[in-house]
Structure 1
């Protein structure tokens, strides 16, 4: 290992011994021999030097003086004094003046070890100085950030929860001067009663877990201001402290409030617009759906008034039957409209009773088949004879009537309609109604349960757009769900899942 060595030695033999011991210790000394103070000062300016070996006794230039000059140069050069016998007092003075070690000439064999130790100590000291400089630099940067931050910053004792320091922004935000807060409890700013889980926050911080919360902070004038608060534990000198950063969110909350108000107005506007649209659809639907049966009734009444005496009994019965059917049709329409209105206002409460769903569903299916489904291939299936469930029979019948009527209406004559009833797990039953009809266009499927909405491919078929809306609401009143799968031109499957109890 090559080292640059200053050797203050006037005796040639001693110089040879010094160089020999350095080489024995595996050093390759690149040395400069010095005899006078002037030579020493000049050499110090031509460094750097790894170590200085000084003869304590030099003619006209003492080892003590050399030590002093080297120390005053601040070159961080370890010095080893080589001497004959010296007094204890002289040794102490020499060490005080900065000597790393001293070696007696009669024990010169220890010189290599002493140099190794001195170089190691110098490396440790250099590293310590670098760390100290880095720490000072970090502290200076932190202090600059701390003093000029746009957020308020507070240092809090981790153990006592008292305030150690505040930055100038705290005065701007909360009006407190340092004298008002330093040494005071953190509760001066963060009232315990307004801090959620106060002790829990402290415990989290003691385990070095950063904490973020929104907190009302007490200003000096006893006004409470909302802040985002971030707290973390940092080293501070020889202790660990809580660094709390606060940011005023008054403007943000006011902006959010304005956004919420705007959203509320927009939602109300959308609701009003939807009501206008529903009203328009309702008027259009009622106008269309009532005009047809009223026209039919009017025609039958006119025929009876004019030709009653000429009609056979069969013709009269047919006209009366037409009048009765059209009145029933309008009655069902009015019932549907009223049912939707009651459901949307929460005025309907299911009147439950325990029934055998298999028997109930089969009778409902048979009734619709006899009335409307004679031109279709209709099949009812249940995987067991008895399925008991607590339902409102009237509401469930209305739901099944609507689904089966739609299946028949939108399936061409000769098409298939299937009704399946089975248990789904221990506590739920499923009703599945499948048709082979015209299906629901994909673009319409998201709105198919909306009141008065009709799919774009059903314009030629009569309808109110209420049936599926009613079915969904009635099923949900039972705590159940209704889902569907549909492909235009191939058919639709509705699946109702109901709790049995």
Structure 2
């Protein structure tokens, strides 16, 4: 196992996986073959075409009707004028082909053009209807082939006015009554084509209508394009702003303008931006708090997918993560169990040389597994040490208590009357009481130190502390005490605890150094960061296999260590050094003495040191 890179999850939110329930965000397209602008322009052009075509059809119909009405009026006027010319040439008797020659000549002479043809009909009789008395074919037109002629003649004779009928081939049929010497003698019928000036006006108007249609379509398209450009520009601006919102850039205002629906939409988006920014700020603060919590947890918190790839890991999970970003192999069975069962947990999972408690839970929404792993190795060691401590303390108390109980029973049984026996058993009681008292004080001292924990250190003058510790002890006979202490040496420590540690180590050295022997106390700086204090003796030394256990509670070695005492002195000294934030160690060679070394943090000398 190797330590992983710093988890990015503590600095930014983890990216969520793309699943069927959580599709990927589609990026906004910036270029399109057919955008809204083109569609709106085409729509406006289509509206222009429809409007222009409608106007074209309406104007064309109105123009045709006006032209036809004008043609009818002209035809009627010409027919009435022709009738006035023909009336003097009518005979007094009933009109026939024989006596209508003079009238026919008037018709020929009075015809304005070949587009205006005229015929004379006589009055109908009881036995026969009205008949044409002039030639039937005039300028290639047979009056008998013109539909509606007889009805027009009959209408003109009966009603006495002009009968006008529009023919399908842009011709106008007009019939007016003829009045001669004997009254109403017949009817004058004319068929006239549309005058050239009217047809020219219609043709010119038709061309102008077509031009107006084309111009209107072009203008509508241009207006549509301009309007579409204005609309799409504003919509694109909103789309770009929405894209920035989707990408998380919430610091840029939209600056929506206009009082229409697009402006309302822009203002709504800007309100949403502000709300999102406030929400994201709150979420960011909450994320930072959670990150701080996760970073400070002693438990490893890991979020992995079912394959074991890590999505989130706090710093405490460093030893459980491989260099490739996956969890160690020992955690994979628990990931599979949690994936299939929903959860899995165990209080005793061994990974390498350490024991862990594991809790795994499947997260359906994230499709991942949450692992909470707690290292129980030190806890189990403490539990084991506490059990051994209680057992050893009970054992150490049991022997003197049993001795005191036995002495009391002997005294009660009559030994109190024997002065020699009484003094012997009272001495035993005093020895056992002193032993219990010393053991109790040592246990209380250790308990108080355990309760203190590591606190703030003071600036302690090491040479003053050494002087006080040396002054508090009495050297055994035959043992020389040497001190080699650098001047103005200061350390971050507790003055009381430092004196107690020095007294304990010197006492231990005196006890195991036989005369003649030497105990040397040294203190010197090591680099700029540490102060080193050494207590060296020329005593019995410690076996190599026992050196790692000398600081354990109630541990008493074999022949090389003390057989008297409780095995708590060095354990208390180690705990005191731990409280001061330092380190203590031992180096020894059996038969050649031991050296106990204390390392403390260097402090700048103070004009008023604590000790």
Q: How high is the TM-score relative to the length of structure 1?
A: 0.42
Which structure: larger Rg? Answer: 2
Q: How high is the TM-score relative to the length of structure 2?
A: 0.35
